[in-house]
Structures are given as structure tokens and as C-alpha cells.
Amino acid sequence: MSDPKETIYAACPHTVAKHRILQAYLTRWLAILDRNAQKIGRSSQRLLYVDGFAGAGEYEDGVPGSPQIPIDIVANQSHQFACPIEMRFIEKRSDRAAHLRQLIRDKKAKLVGTTGRLQIIDPVEGDCEQEIRRLVSECEARRQALGPAFFFLDQFGYSSFSMDLIQTILRHEVCETFSYLNWNLLHPFMADATKHAGISKAFGGSEWREVLTLSGSQKETRFREVYLAALRERAGARYAYPFAMRGPDHRVIYWLFFCTNNLRGLEEMKEAMWEVDRSGGFEFSDKFASERSSLYEYTDAQLATDLVRELDGQSMTVEQLKEYVLVNTPAICALRAFGAMEAAKQLRPIDPPPNRKVRSFGQHMRMKVRIKEVRPEAQATFFSE
């Protein structure tokens, strides 16, 4: 889908919010992967960042675009990187690619001697899917690991890369995608049969057609659910998590979808998303951009209520319960909530170690626990034994 905007244009509030998420995640991701590589003796293994729709590299008034974010993180972070870091930028439009190329040259000149092992490849003018497939093929031919790698696929519309490309990336170890799907451009034209091939390409199949008979929020919600299912089942993403961006009228413009096969990656991305929206809704609205993102915050008490409602009577290990929380709820800091639930008798350890302290779970991840609803008639009274 073509992009009618100028070479450089103003950044909308939701674009700035998107970049806040990207910055918060990459700040965590790069340092964590570097430390892990050092621990296992692989500090020579490079970390790869690929921006498949890099744009011009900046917006009006000098607002930084996505290509500048990872560069500035490496340049300004106190962490001393041991692993080489390779950054690649792809942009299809020749005017933006030319602007980005000059911007990167200027930035590299200013950073000489300050970025350690950072390698910034000259931006490529080309198609995102073709260039990434070429990169993957080159790595495979050299028997070089593609990952650890993070692919930012921030397309303009909805059909510029395929579900198969995401599958191609995710089948490599320690590779993640952060992609974009524009609902605002999709739903008005779904009845147009000439658009169906592009949508099916994005999904890797035609199951999305089931939403054609729906309308309103039901259509929007079901479309997102079907796409998430395709990411998990067809692309092979063990964990896929969405974030919605809303416009000045508070309607959904697009979704961001994070895909990873690493639970720690999901945890860190949710932390990054929480910096933009702490309500548990995982969304940002231009309508309320000048206000606090949410007056409501998803709390430990709300998590406890949700877990009791969904898992009453079930038993699992602490590790499994933590994974359930990360995948199925907005929460991140689950262990703290587990302690409060134990105190409230909503969670009971099964055969805990004899030296275990009450409300401690971090050192006992394999311990089994049982979720239990505490009903009013079962609660102790002042006169009960």
C-alpha cells in the first residue's frame, strides 16, 4: 500500500508513544542479551536490529524516527557492550531512503569513538520482505546464526509483508518481531475483493473472511483475535501480544503485535508497554494524549480477582502460574500478587519446603500451588475455632 505523505512529516502523538515502547524495550533487550551472551561465553556473537520500514529517520522539527532510537540507546547507555551490535535499515521510498542515508552518515560521524562495537550498515533502498529474506539466506549460507535479532516491521498499511516472513524470522533462535497492522485502512475496504489477496497475504490464509459478516467493535475485536491466532499457529510465535493505537476520535487506527518465543522477552515488552499504558488495556489514544494515559491502573488485587475467577480449583507450579499471568493478563509482577493471595487464603502452596517463608515464591518456582476462591460462608468468624 502506498504512503501519500511527504518525505518528512509531523509525528502524531501515537507515533511518539509507539517509539516510547520501542525505546523502553530495546534499552532492556540489548543489555539483557549482551549479559546473557557473556555468561555463556558467546560475547563474539552479534546482536542484530533490523528496521524494515525505516522511513526518513526523523520527523518535522527534528523529532527522531525509529532508526535513531537503537543508535542513541547504544551510544548513551551506561552498559558496556561486549557483543558486536549490527543495525540494518530498509526503506522502499527513494526520497526517504536518501534522506535517511545522509542522516545516518551525519550521525555516525558524530559518534566516532563513542559507540564501541556498534556497526551501522548503510541504509538499503528496497522492499522489506525481499531484503530480509536475502539477509536470512545469506546467514544460512554462511551457517551464521540470524539471532539474537529484533525485527521492527512498521509498515504503512497492512500488506507490505507476509505471515510467512514472520514465520521465517521466528523459526530462528532468539529472534523477535514487532509489527504493525493498520485497521483504519483495512475495515472500510474489506468489501472490495481486490484487497482480499493483500489481507490473505498478511494472514497467510483466508480465515479472516469470517469477520465480513460482523460490524462495529465485534468485527474489530474478532479481526484482531484471528490475526493473533495466525501469529501463534501459522508463524510459530509462542507468545504474541498486541497494543492498540487510537486516534483523536478514540477509534483504533492500528495495532502493534510483538512476537517472541522467549517468556523473558514477553515480560520485558509488557514492561515497556506499561510505560505508555498502566491500565491493563494496552492502548494509547491521541484523544487523551495530553492527559495521563489512564486514570486506572491494573493492580495486584485485580490480578488476584481475575486469577480466582479463571483458575478456581486448579493446581500448577509457581512457574506455570507466572507464565499464565504474563500470557493471559495485563500483569507483570506476579510473585508479589501471589504473596498477597496466600495471605488472603486465595492461593495455597502444596507440600512446600519445610524452610520456606510464607509469601515467598521466587526461590520455589517448581512448587505446586492451588488457586481457591474464598467464599463468604467459608470464611472464619470471630467465634469460629
When pLDDT is cut at 50, 70 and 90, the band that residue 249 belongs to is: very high
Mean pLDDT of the chain: 91
The residue type found at 51 is: D
| Residue with grid cell 494509547, as numbered in its chain | 284
363-383 per-residue burial string, b: 16 or more CB within 10 A, e: under 16: ebeebbbebbeeeeeeeeeee
Determine the pLDDT at residue 290: 60
The lowest-confidence range among 110-114, 213-217, 339-343, 367-371 is 110-114
Nearest to 337 by CA among 376, 298, 374: 298
Determine the pLDDT at residue 346: 96
Please tell me the CATH code under which domain 13-288 is placed: 3.40.50
% pLDDT > 90, the chain:
78
More confident residue, 219 or 279: 219
Angle at 253 between CA 234 and CA 330, to 5 degrees: 65
**Quick one: average pLDDT of 137-164?**
95
The answer, yes or no, to whether residue 382 has pLDDT greater than 80, is no
When pLDDT is cut at 50, 70 and 90, the band that residue 376 belongs to is: low
**Quick one: average pLDDT of 232-248?**
96
Q: What is the pLDDT of residues 159-203, one digit of tens each?
A: 999 999 999 999 999 999 999 999 999 998 898 999 999 999 999
When pLDDT is cut at 50, 70 and 90, the band that residue 291 belongs to is: low
